[in-house]
């Protein structure tokens, strides 16, 4: 039964070509927003805390600091409102979900950058 559901999801979901990013990466998500009859692209730049799910239901969470307040936003991978994603830094973290990052402030909130070989 679940095989049939997976096959249908593959057929019906449009193919998204987003860059490879993982938890710890700093990315900029260009997101389309409709206000009345106008449409504009808003940028949300922050650190990826997690990627969750698979296939059409996959999501990723991005956290940024707005002043002194942490703001998190969950984006579906297959969203038609995502215009593009830019990878600013590739972070070197040891786990897939970096929830401990929420409690960090100042220098302890830095993430090492992965070296490009």
The tens digit of pLDDT for each residue in 11-69 reads: 777 677 788 999 999 999 999 999 999 999 999 999 999 999 887 789 999 999 998 89
Question: Would you state the pLDDT for residue 117?
Answer: 63
Question: Would you state the pLDDT for residue 4?
Answer: 84
Dihedral-angle region of residue 106 (phi above 0 means left; psi in -120 to 50 means alpha; beta otherwise): left
Closest CA to 73 of 58, 62, 59, 57: 62
Edge-to-edge order in the sheet of strand 26-35 = 69-76, 59-66, 38-52, 26-35, 82-89
Question: Would you state the pLDDT for residue 74?
Answer: 96
CATH architecture, domain defined by 2-104: Roll (2.30)
Q: pTM, whole model, 2 decimals?
A: 0.84
Q: Taking the domains of the chain in order of start, what are their residue ranges? A: 2-104
Residue 89 backbone phi and psi in degrees, to 5: -140, 145
| Residue 86 reports pLDDT greater than 90 | yes
Residue 10 backbone phi and psi in degrees, to 5: -60, -40
Look at the chain and count its residues.
117
Question: Would you state the pLDDT for residue 90?
Answer: 94
């Amino acid at each position: 039964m679940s095989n049939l559901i997976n096959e249908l999801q593959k057929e019906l979901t449009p193919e998204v070509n987003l860059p490879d990013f993982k938890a710890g990466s700093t990315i900029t998500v260009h997101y389309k927003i409709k206000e009345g009859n106008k449409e504009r692209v808003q940028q949300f730049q922050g650190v990826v805390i997690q990627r969750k799910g698979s296939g059409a239901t996959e999501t990723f969470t991005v956290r940024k600091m707005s002043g002194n307040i942490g703001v998190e936003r969950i984006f579906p991978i297959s969203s038609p409102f995502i215009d593009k994603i830019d990878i600013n830094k590739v972070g070197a973290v040891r786990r897939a979900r970096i929830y401990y990052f929420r409690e960090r402030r100042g220098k302890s909130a830095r993430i090492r950058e992965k070296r490009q070989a």
